[in-house]
Structure 1
Amino acid sequence: MTKYILHCLLLSVFSFNAYSQQQKIASADKKYDTHAYVDAIKIYEHVAEKGYKSEDLFQKLGNSFYFNSDFEKAVKWYGKLFAMDTAIKPEYYYRYAQSLKSTGNTAKANEILDLFYQKSKNDSRAQLYQADKNYLEEINANSGRYKIENASVNSTYSDYGTAFYQNKIVFASTRDKSIFGQRKDKWTGDSYTNLYEADLDENFNLSEPKKINRGINSKFHESTPVFTKDGKTVYFTRNNYIDGKKGKNESKTTLIKIYRATLENDEWTNIIELPFTSNNYSTAHPALSSDEKTLYFASDMPGTIGQSDIFKVTIKPNGEFGTPENLGKPINTEGKETFPFVTDENEIYFASDGHPGLGGLDVFVGKITPNGITEIKNIGADVNSTKDDFAYLIDSKSRRGFFTSNKNGGFGSDDIYKFTETKKLTCVQELQGTIINLASGEVLSNSTLTLYDSKLNQLISTTNSDANGHFTFAVECGTAYHIRAEKETFTTKEESIVIAKENGTTNLTIALESPKAEVTIGDDLGKYVGIKTIYFDLNKADIRPEAALDLEKVLEVLKQYPTMKLDIRSHTDSRQSHQYNQILSDKRANSILKWLVDNGISTSRLTGKGYGETQLVNKCADGVKCSEEEHQMNRRSEFIIIEM
């Protein structure tokens, strides 16, 4: 009986404790769902300390610390989650790996990333990792390019997100501890941020910062502004709060939006939210293109690939906006891309935890092209660390700037760092060379140099050699080119070259040869100027870029000898029927003739005819097995001189 009573008492106590724990968890869940992570953590940790375990509890504890960039504690709770030996969603593999990297455990992180790839092969983050498992070597190769020091404006609180404004920088800080400054953000537990400004001298030294008291700061968050060059318009991030009213989404959470303000009588006024913002998703961290016609920003709006993506929107001449456009892959991933900054060199810097990095947010750079963002690279371990590194800002002329990080050794939770970039990440190459006379070795001035891509599809640039025979082209590293050298009374010469992959200069000497003998009637001008074949697409008669390049040689000789007349003879190989080949060769001869006429040669100087397969130069007649190279010898065009 006593045992029975004792058992009932223990069961009652256990049931009461279990009920109490569930009440506490339910209370914490409400705070978690409204992003009040600091308050949720207190309850979750208290429950966990009492021995309560669940997959949901460990997920939310890990997330609460992960979303606040406290990766050491995130590792603790994600570790407990993985120790439960239960089916875990793939996203937690990625968060656990990121947290492990941020605590320096790269080997374990890569093991988890291998598992992440197995579970999520279609996730771009998994694909990026799998495609470049040696990403640390690339990061190391991109390092050693910065001189970095802690900026003089930091406090023991959070300071982040610089912007250039006239001869100042503007940044966000939680340092304000006035009555309004005591309001706490339930996500981080810190005070709300206000905007501050500091004078910036020519050496990028900063004065004592002052809070901006000109109508822009409110009792909620303001951060990450960007100013127009005339200093009269600002775009900035703020909580969903305007005219004393706070907006909330369906979950009663106040998100963040981008606002615009104009300067009138030294006061920021006419504050409006941009038309593409919403109560139900966030828009933040605006950046302007150099011409101020495009606004870049981060958002989780519908159409977002991951947790947040980088978008762009056109600013119309009347101040209205176009439709936001997701920059897409490869810049955006299923992770977080945020804090864009665009230079006048069409580079976009941004922070990401989706591209391979050192942990937390890393800073990356990409090239803005008409076809999207390309050449995305981690900028290296000088700026980047195992913590969050973001809000990169650079003056492209001086190569000086600022970024923000919560890396170890700072004054506060986030700190602003000043840097000088001593070496550009983008490989810079020049193609330099000299044109000489093959026979004498003397330099040839005023030679014409034309640079094409390797496939001769695009003319890139033209220049002339100087008095010393020298020439220079700006070229891209690791790229193949085709270069053509011309000079009167010399035979045109062409060279192929592959540019080195490292910063520096690729050198090329081109020796031009004087013709040994003048051409006469009956000669093939094509052989004289070095034409082996006029290329056509199979079964077609259109002039290809390679053919046009060779025809320019013929054109140049015809211009030098204005009384010369040519008979253009086109031939095919034996494949296809005699009738088909005759028609095709006629079309090709006429195409060549038309090209020369279109480029200024009188029709009275040209005749043309196709000979089909009637004048083969080798054994490759019908039914004879020949190689492609042997057939190619018969697909030729001749330029026979019939009058001088």
Structure 2
Amino acid sequence: MRTISRYISLVCAGMFALTSFAQNGKIKSVEDDYRDFAYVKTSEVLLEVANKGYKSAELFQKLANSYYFRNDMENAAKWYGELMTMNDVIDPEYYFRYALALKGIEDYKESDKWMKKFNELKPDDMRGKAFLSSVDYKSNIEEISRDDIEPYNLEINTELSDFGVTEYENGIVFSSSRGGGRKYRWNEEPYLDLYSAEKTESGFGEVKEIQGKVNTKYHESSAVFSPNGKYMFFTRNNFFRLKYKEDGTGINRLQLYRATLSEDGTWDEIHKVHFNSEDYSVAHPTLNVTGTRLYFASDMPGTYGQSDIFVVDVNDDGTLGEPENLGASINTEGQETFPFMDTSGNLFYSSTGFPGLGGLDVFKSEELDQKVDKGSNRNYPIQNVGKPVNSSADDFGYYENLVTKRVYFSSNREGGKGSDDIYTFEVPECEQLVVGTVQDKKTDELIPNATVILFDGEGKEIERKTVGEDAAFEFKLECETEYLVRGEKETYLSDEKRFTTPKKKQDLQLQLLLEKDVQEISPCDDLAKILDIPIIYFDFDKSNIRYDAEIELQKVLAVLNKYPTMNIDIRSHTDCRGPADYNEKLSDRRAKSTRQYLIDNGIAAERLTAKGYGESQLVNDCGCEPTNESSCSEEEHQLNRRSEFIITSINGKSCDDKE
């Protein structure tokens, strides 16, 4: 049975009812004097190559990342911008990082452009959704809903209407039509009164009418108590001192009243609030934690729709100031009603004006009371609280005790005992645990003594740890919260993982993979491996240097220029396919072509040797029998088609000395 039009509409026939992240740890710069050792810093090499005008997606990705992780957003934006000009398929995460870098230099218009592209490529990512304020509200509601909570229908509910809980002393006070007597003509149920019930070990004890002069033969509902327990504000029909009054259309409006606690424990001295009127309704009060501000619902002049949420200051003597509408971010052309302010200043209320699951849905505006106190421009973000509180029916009268984690709400959903019922549940404790290791990206080796930093979703540092020999870390996290975990160590490029913890308790495992930025080099080392050059590509049956190969050779050139005592041996290899003699000659031409390119770019010829080895030095078992083609895959064959740049000597030491 759906009964919202009777009571909770309240006038019945009367129209109611990146950033950039704070990067503290920066990669330590390498000293100029290396004594007996030499080092190469990959990011410096990449910058030198890029500044010469060479372009590749990999080049720009690595270069931009090196600045991004050091919080140098100006240079990060520059090189991410270059990346976006490439025609390669780009990981959407780079769109997000580019947007954050642009925001970091206050280029908000361009940042918005790339956030939209990020959202298009990753429509399920909450970052993009938050930016665009997605119209796909049902998906948003599902994401915040709790399917692990089953609300309990209170044993004190009746076949009539019971709703609107507030805790008082060792029990609850609520509204109910269980009292008998004259019936309300809109639903043929008795008029509402206020009742109380004490908590017991098994639930609640006997339900009793609240004592004093509060209840009358007309409606009373929605009580709230001042922090000192001296006053109670509640809702009643326009019935005062035995006079029942209607407006010009014959409607009896709802009004706010204040009762005072007598020495004998009863509620007496009933007073109307000064802004009550016969022409509009005022109802459903709630107080902030200090009792200095009262929120309520009304359709008074200045209302946006059927009813709005208002706020008014409470004076020391219990009287009220002048009410103000909370504005268009809270109120709509629909119905906003049943406000509740928790002890943290979060406002909960029910509305039909925002997208929801059906009927009245409960919405939340975080820390609204603090924002009102600061005199903001009344722009208060809201969020649907989702299931199990909201349903396809009318859901209202939300109340939460943040200490006990106990929630009450009212609903006329299917399966209840009466027309409106009170439901409750305890918010489950939810603590996430994220565990992981810091490892080398290429070798998977553990990286002891690395620093792991935990950030919140906005980039504020929460905690940092230094991992031990096992390179392991763990953090305890809150549920339904966005975090970022970043791994750092000197001589490495950082790695980070962003995630949002789920609603249910579970463990999350991460692997932070750090890539070497500063590496020691010595005789016999292969620059191709150090600089991540897998192969110098040539066109089929050709030995001239292609553009993409030229980019890779610029890396080698940068290192040779940095270390004038370095000599290298250029080695070119092929796979086994094709005649062995042909492969050897072709690889030799390519090795010498590579050598000549470096000579043409200023490297002394005596520093370079070059030779092709054809298929004579395979790195795997992908050899070809004289009469049969190898069964290896293309990827396995490609491991043999490699270029090597072996350091034969540096700083007076040779490969022969090392051996």
TM-score, structure 2 as length reference: 0.49
Ranked by relative contact order (alpha carbons within 8 Å, sequence separation 6 or more), the top structure is: 2
Higher helix share: 1
The structure with the larger Rg is 2
